């Protein structure tokens, strides 16, 4: 089976982003190329007419045709340029949207995969270094179209010249000059193709160095690290690194430029000889009066254009070939397949929210890890129940939630909902059962309404209700545009900056707005003090009502109101019970954790 050419595959792929762009680019190339040839042709005709002392009317007519023709071609070129610019923007937006859509459509385990993240980073880095990848291919396509159009127009006029030469009869000098031109052009094409590959190698070396520069830039502290930078004088470290990279940057680029210059020198010499031969050939036939005097302008220009563009198109092909290693990285990303089973069983819509879930001997280890994050976990979640999940860092609490929400599937065991393995349910419908506020939740730099509703539209009364219920009411009333107020200033200078506590409340309101049967809080209030956290959990418990709720917290005092507490330790559930039941077991993990925290809240009595 014949292997598909990467560049051709890339062209088909990129053309799908905007089917209008490539035909318009071709049309633009035609009008952009015809302009200089038309002008040279007409100039040659005018010079010939003046030399032959033709009538004034004929000369004036040639001038008028030249001016009107040039005006028409320039107007069309300008018009097409505007249209192409618009279509190119559409193409760029569609390409970005397609890339983001692919990222967001990946299974969650792939989103967290180091290999996939490195793959994405390579694509971005390649595009920032000499526009390798999709942008370089687009440049080659447009350049190739321009060169092909120029070759066609030059070849038509070269054919006219060649026919005129043949009609005039055999001329030894002319024949020798033509043979010399052909040999030098073919030799220069072969030489330039080899030189282009060498130059590609040089620039690849520069690209590899620039990748390191980009990584340094990503490591440079941003605004949020300003306090650390000042207190620990971290700026000195980055200044020294930047000095070293600036010196290295100059050395690498200077070396590459010298190599490229050296590779180009023979080609420059050959092209000069080709131009001399072209000029001598045309002048020779003009002296013999086989060509009119204006042909010196016309044929020399056409010959030069034909030769340069033939060489240029081979260079463009070599550039596209060199780009294929980067283009393949881009195309391979879109071919990453999702392997999580999507299920087909519809999730029953129940007004009583009766969705009982049970973990049966569930074990899980993250891809690429030999350590079990969860081991033989068995637990049932009953409708309307309030469950607290507690344990030390790394005990498996968040992993438990990820499996519950089917961000991952168990390696062993199964999760059952209403008598069926959750894998059998339609994946999207199953996800709709959960409202989760993770510890590392994110708000978007969009309007408050967009953030609460997670949609382009929202129910104002409903959004305001939940914002007030989570304690955001006072801040909400102070906002200038209420739900239309932009959060953060990334895209709106009038946007508002929210404190950590305010942002957490918006995230809580977002979870409530979804009105899912399951509400899960995965330590979203860890940045708050214990009293504020307990108040939020208490208030949130009232709001949740008859929904099934799961609370994850380091601070055990915040979970006392729960119906059941599951204690995780080293990936296993070591205890299950109420707060009072668990405290009775003085040898248990919960008792240990409770007393370790309680000592910080018990006021020591001063000695009498």
Give pLDDT tens digits for 297-306.
677 766 777 7
Which stretch of 70-74, 215-219, 280-284, 405-409 has the lowest confidence by average pLDDT? 215-219
Cα separation of the two ends of the chain = 93
Question: Taking CA 213 as the corner, what is the angle to CA 209 and CA 218, rounded to the nearest 5 degrees?
Answer: 145
Q: Residues 51-56: what's their mean pLDDT?
A: 76
Q: What's the pLDDT score for residue 37?
A: 75
Q: Residues 290-296: what's their mean pLDDT?
A: 72
Overall CATH class of domain 442-515: alpha beta
Q: What's the pLDDT score for residue 594?
A: 82
Q: Residues 14-35: what's their mean pLDDT?
A: 87
Q: What's the pLDDT score for residue 29?
A: 87
Asked, colleague to colleague, whether 6-334 and 353-433+516-600 share their fold, the answer is no
C-alpha of 416 from chain center: 37
C-alpha of 425 from chain center: 32
Q: What residues have CB less than 8 Å from 134, skipping those under 6 apart?
A: 10, 14, 95, 127, 327, 330
Q: What's the pLDDT score for residue 3?
A: 61
- Domain residue spans of the chain: 6-334, 353-433+516-600, 442-515
353-433+516-600 has which CATH code?
3.40.50.300
Please name the helix (run of DSSP H) or strand (run of DSSP E) that holds residue 440, with its range, or none: none
Which stretch of 75-79, 156-160, 250-254, 518-522 has the lowest confidence by average pLDDT? 250-254
Cα gap 466→330, rounded to integer Å:
43
Cα gap 296→44, rounded to integer Å:
8
pLDDT top residue among 425 and 36: 425
pLDDT for 99 beyond 60: yes
Task: Give tens-digit pLDDT for 359-384.
Answer: 999 999 988 788 899 999 999 888 88
Task: Give tens-digit pLDDT for 173-232.
Answer: 777 877 777 777 777 766 666 666 666 665 666 666 666 656 555 555 555 566 666 666
Cβ–Cβ < 8 Å for 322, 136: no
SS3 476: helix
pLDDT top residue among 145 and 38: 145
pLDDT top residue among 181 and 261: 181
The dihedral region occupied by 141, where left means phi > 0, alpha psi between -120 and 50, and beta the remainder, is alpha
- The yes or no reply on domain 6-334 and CATH 1.20.1560 is yes
Cα gap 267→187, rounded to integer Å:
10
DSSP 33: H
């Amino acid at each position: 089976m014949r292997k598909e050419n990467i560049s051709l595959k890339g062209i088909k792929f990129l053309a799908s982003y905007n089917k209008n762009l490539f035909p318009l680019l071709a049309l633009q190339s035609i009008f952009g190329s015809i302009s200089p040839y038309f002008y040279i042709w007409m100039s040659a005709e005018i010079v010939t007419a003046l030399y032959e002392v033709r009538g004034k009317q004929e000369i004036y007519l040639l001038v008028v045709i030249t001016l009107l023709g040039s005006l028409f071609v320039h107007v069309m070129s300008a018009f097409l340029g505007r249209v192409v610019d618009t279509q190119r923007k559409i193409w760029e937006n569609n390409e970005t949207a397609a890339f983001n859509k692919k990222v967001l459509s990946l299974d969650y385990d792939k989103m967290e995969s180091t290999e996939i993240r490195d793959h994405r980073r390579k694509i971005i880095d390649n595009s920032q270094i000499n526009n390798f990848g999709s942008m370089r291919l687009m440049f080659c396509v447009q350049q190739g179209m321009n060169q092909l159009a120029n070759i066609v127009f030059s070849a038509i006029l070269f054919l006219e010249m060649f026919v005129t030469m043949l009609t005039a009869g055999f001329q030894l000098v002319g024949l020798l000059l033509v043979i010399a031109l052909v040999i030098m052009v073919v030799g220069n094409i072969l030489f330039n193709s080899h030189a282009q590959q060498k130059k590609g190698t040089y620039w690849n070396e520069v690209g590899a160095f620039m990748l390191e520069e980009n990584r340094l830039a990503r490591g440079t502290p941003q605004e949020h690290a300003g306090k650390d930078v000042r207190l620990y004088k971290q700026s000195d470290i980055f200044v020294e690194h930047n000095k070293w990279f600036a010196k290295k940057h100059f050395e690498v680029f200077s070396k590459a430029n010298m190599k490229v210059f050296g590779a180009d020198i023979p080609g420059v010499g050959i092209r000069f000889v080709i131009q001399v031969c072209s000029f001598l050939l045309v002048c020779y036939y003009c002296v013999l009066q086989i060509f009119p005097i204006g042909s010196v302008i016309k044929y020399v220009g056409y010959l030069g254009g034909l030769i340069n563009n033939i060489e240029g198109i081979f260079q463009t092909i070599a550039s596209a070939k060199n780009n294929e290693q980067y283009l393949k990285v881009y195309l391979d990303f879109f071919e990453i397949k999702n392997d999580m089973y999507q299920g087909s069983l519809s999730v029953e819509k129940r007004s009583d929210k009766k969705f009982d879930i049970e973990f049966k001997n569930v074990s899980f280890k993250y891809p690429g890890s030999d350590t079990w994050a969860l081991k033989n976990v068995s637990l049932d979640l009953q409708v309307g129940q309030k469950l607290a999940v507690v344990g030390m860092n790394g005990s498996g609490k968040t992993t438990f939630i990820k499996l519950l929400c089917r961000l991952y599937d168990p390696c062993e065991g199964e999760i059952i909902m209403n008598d069926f393995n959750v894998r059998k349910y339609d994946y999207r419908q199953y996800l709709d059962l959960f409202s989760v506020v993770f510890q590392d939740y994110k708000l978007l730099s969009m309007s408050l309404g967009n953030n609460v509703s997670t949609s382009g539209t929202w129910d104002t009364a409903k959004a305001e209700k939940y914002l007030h219920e989570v304690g955001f009411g006072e801040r909400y009333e102070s906002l200038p545009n209420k739900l239309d107020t932009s959060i953060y200033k990334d895209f709106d200078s009038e946007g508002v900056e929210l404190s950590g506590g305010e942002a957490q409340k918006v995230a809580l309101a977002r979870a409530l707005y979804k009105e899912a049967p399951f509400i899960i809080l995965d330590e979203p209030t860890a940045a708050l003090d214990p009293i504020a956290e307990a108040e939020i959990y208490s208030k949130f418990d009232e709001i949740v009502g008859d929904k099934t709720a799961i609370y994850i917290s380091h601070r055990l005092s915040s979970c006392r109101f729960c119906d059941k507490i599951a204690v995780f330790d080293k990936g296993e559930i070591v205890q299950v019970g109420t707060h009072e039941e668990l405290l009775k077991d003085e040898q248990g993990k919960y008792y240990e954790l409770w007393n370790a925290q309680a000592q910080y809240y018990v006021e020591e009595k001063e000695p009498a």
